[in-house]
Structure 1
Amino acid sequence: MNRPDGEATIVFDGVCALCSGWVEFLLKRDRRQRYRFAAMQTPAGRELLQANGLDPDDPLSFLLIEGDAARTDSDAIVAILTGLGGAWRAAAALRLLPRAMRDPAYRWLARNRYRWFGKKAACYLPSAEQAHRFL
């Protein structure tokens, strides 16, 4: 999947209420439109997960792809927040916590996301103005 230089792709769980809220949060704050999105339930999302060694049928993680690099779990969250620029770059301080501490917390949230935040009947649908940012 070709992406213009400087663009990154986020593969997210399109039926997860928390994950869809995360995408809405990013759409509002990503003024440079740096991020594109693919729900993991779509053919493009499944392909990206498989190409990066993740099981699309057991989505406990989401994926950030920037150029030739792929990040998951807490590394992806920190990279996405710092990529927003401005004050969001302060999120880089989270890297001071070892990944061995950050990732279990992320996975605990991921395992419980449907129970705590709910599950939608269908994938997140972007507005007409946002559609160009979705694969």
Structure 2
Amino acid sequence: MATPSESDRDAATIVDELDQPILLFDGVCNLCNGFVRFVVQFDAAGEFLFAPLQSDVGQELSRRHNLKTEDFDSVVLVEDGEVYTKSTAVLRVCRRLDGPWPLLTPLSAVPTGISDSVYDLVAENRYRVFGKKDACPVPEPELRERFANRTFD
């Protein structure tokens, strides 16, 4: 029996098989796409996978974790079955990166109400300041293997 190709796999199957942290992000947001490139740069071990919130995988994970499936206002980290959003997601990612970024971990002690308020301020203005794409861009070939849904045709 032939093994299904990557393009034949549905989002539910891909999500069921995830075995590493996945970062969901607003795929049309230039700031969010920049954050993904930043994480890839400082994640030499390749611990994180990525999926735009607008993708089938992003939508499937959002539904499973009772998150919004439109009007995205946060990056989402799904790690060991737990969901982290906003500043908590960003700081949890930073603690696992190479370089100086784990030094930001003590910021987790800042009350979430304060750190999320700062996050929300940036999120509310991200399109105006950083711009946005009309559609989720296809990642560069060297990044494609880091995306949970690797079909980009």
User: Same fold by TM-score, threshold 0.5 exceeded?
Assistant: yes
Q: How many residues of Structure 1 are paired with residues of Structure 2 in the alignment? A: 133
> Normalising by structure 2, what TM-score?
0.82
Aligned equivalent of 1:9: 22
1:55-105 Cα deviation digits (max 9, x unpaired): 121211121011111100110000000011453211111112111100111
Aligned equivalent of 1:120: 133
Match of residue 77, structure 1, among 63, 70, 90: 90
Say whether 1:59 aligns with 2:79. Answer: no
Aligned equivalent of 2:8: none
Runs of 5+ consecutive residues of structure 1 not aligned to the other structure: none
Question: How is 1:26-65 mapped onto 2 (pairs within 5 angstroms)?
Answer: 26-65=39-78
| Aligned-partner residue type, residue 3 of structure 1 | L
Give percent identity, aligned residues only.
35
Q: Secondary structure at the match of 2:50?
A: strand
d(CA) in 2 for partners of 1:68, 1:54: 14
> Normalising by structure 1, what TM-score?
0.92
Shift, 1:3, TM fit: 2.1
d(CA) in 1 for partners of 2:34, 2:99: 21
Match of residue 34, structure 2, among 1, 21, 24: 21
Q: Secondary structure at the match of 1:65?
A: strand
Shift, 1:112, TM fit: 1.3
Shift, 1:111, TM fit: 1.4
Runs of 5+ consecutive residues of structure 2 not aligned to the other structure: 1-14, 149-153
